[in-house]
């Protein structure tokens, strides 16, 4: 394979400019260099590309077909150079973010939307896991970042605390618990608890610290469906305050009168302390940060 990209570029310019001489001028080369390159192509391909019998060299049908294929190759070459340029400027080729499914996904999704509008060269992957599964996936995939409530600290990991997410224990206004005063744990256990499902396949090593431990538990896949279930009066459960402000204001959801019906946790953005974040990482960091700040207000 002796095919030369430069030769294809010369061919392309010659065709666009209409003559060898003009192409030479445009490429800042001598006209003989153009002749040489075209001739080389013709010899390599063993196909006449130009018909020189008339005054101006004219493309042969074969030449035209090869030119069209060549343009695609040039496009691909430009693509590669652009990519390399991005990488050299600090963009990661790919960026994987693992999220704890117990966290509200909305701010992350909003951050991703904001990022998508900036046309980042980095391919971003997001994986949602839960509890132990988060760090497992982070380690296994050598992911770039994880967004967690809890993790095993290590000197190799760098954690950036996000603003607190206030949580509130609520139920539907039509649920029995809504009427009760000074609810105690035993009473809670009589009703259906709504919680987020653990996506990890392994037997969970740590228990969800926010779970009450009753025998009627509904495991859901996100706060969206949890909210729907709460509104249906299915049971009670923790919700991020920000997600149900309107429902609390209009009275559709009410706070359970439990000893500690308020709670807050601090999500953390964790990444490897060794290799620094690239441009995409920094961007994601700041976007997620600002979305969570909006959430805590």
Partner DNA sequence: ATTACCCTATCAGTTAAATCGATGGAGATG
Partner DNA sequence: CATCTCCATCGATTTAACTGATAGGGTAAT
Return all residues near 84 (Cβ < 8 A) that are at least 6 apart.
none
Asked whether position 277 contacts a copy of itself by CB under 8 A, the answer is no
User: Cβ of 204: how many Cβ atoms within 10 Å?
Assistant: 13
57 binds, among DNA, a copy of itself, none (CB under 5 to 8 A by kind): DNA
Asked whether position 35 contacts DNA by CB under 7 A, the answer is yes
Give dist(CA 82, CA 121) in Å, integer. 9
3-state secondary structure of 114: helix
- C-alpha to C-alpha distances, 265 to 35, 61, 179, nearest whole angstrom: 72, 70, 28
DSSP state of 103: S
Binding mask 55-84 for DNA (x = CB under 7 A): xxx---------------------------
**Closest CB 2 distance from DNA, rounded Å:** 8
In contact, 235 and 216? CB cutoff 8 Å: yes
Which residue, 66 or 177, has its beta carbon nearer to DNA? Answer: 66
In contact, 170 and 245? CB cutoff 8 Å: no
Asked whether position 5 contacts a copy of itself by CB under 8 A, the answer is yes
Asked whether position 37 contacts DNA by CB under 7 A, the answer is yes
**Closest CB 18 distance from DNA, rounded Å:** 7
Q: What is the maximum span of the chain, computed from C-alpha positions, in angstroms?
A: 101
Asked whether position 4 contacts DNA by CB under 7 A, the answer is yes
In contact, 200 and 101? CB cutoff 8 Å: no
Task: Enumerate residues 75-94 that contact a copy of itself by CB under 8 A.
Answer: 76-81, 83-85, 87-88, 92-94
Question: Which residues of this protein are in contact with DNA, per CB under 7 A?
Answer: 4, 6-7, 19-22, 24, 28-33, 35-40, 50, 52, 54-57
Question: Which residues of this protein are in contact with a copy of itself, per CB under 8 A?
Answer: 1-6, 9, 44-47, 61-62, 64-66, 69-70, 72-73, 76-81, 83-85, 87-88, 92-94
């Amino acid at each position: 394979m002796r095919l030369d990209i430069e030769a294809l570029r010369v061919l392309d310019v010659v065709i666009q400019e209409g003559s060898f001489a003009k192409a030479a001028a445009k490429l800042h080369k001598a006209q003989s260099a153009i002749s040489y390159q075209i001739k080389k192509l013709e010899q390599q391909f063993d196909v006449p590309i130009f018909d020189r019998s008339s005054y101006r060299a004219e493309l042969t049908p074969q030449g035209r077909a090869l030119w069209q294929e060549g343009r695609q190759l040039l496009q691909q070459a430009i693509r590669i150079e652009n990519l390399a340029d991005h990488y050299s400027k600090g963009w990661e080729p790919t960026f994987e973010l693992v999220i704890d499914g117990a966290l509200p996904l909305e701010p992350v999704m909003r951050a991703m939307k904001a990022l998508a509008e900036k046309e980042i060269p980095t391919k971003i992957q997001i994986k949602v896991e839960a509890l132990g599964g988060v760090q497992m996936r982070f380690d296994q995939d050598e992911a770039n970042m994880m967004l967690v409530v809890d993790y095993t600290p290590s000197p190799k990991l760098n954690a950036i605390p996000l603003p607190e997410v206030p949580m509130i224990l609520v139920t539907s206004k039509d649920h029995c618990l809504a009427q009760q005063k000074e609810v105690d744990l035993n009473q809670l256990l009589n009703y259906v608890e709504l919680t987020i499902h653990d996506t990890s396949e392994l037997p969970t090593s740590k228990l969800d610290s926010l779970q009450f431990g009753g025998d009627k538990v509904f495991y859901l896949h996100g706060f969206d469906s949890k909210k729907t279930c709460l509104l249906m009066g299915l049971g009670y459960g923790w919700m991020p305050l920000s997600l149900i402000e309107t429902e609390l204001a209009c009275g559709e959801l009410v706070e359970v009168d439990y000893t500690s019906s308020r709670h807050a946790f601090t999500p953390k953005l964790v990444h490897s302390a060794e290799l620094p974040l690239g441009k995409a990482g920094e961007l994601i960091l700041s976007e997620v940060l600002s979305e969570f700040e909006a959430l805590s207000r």
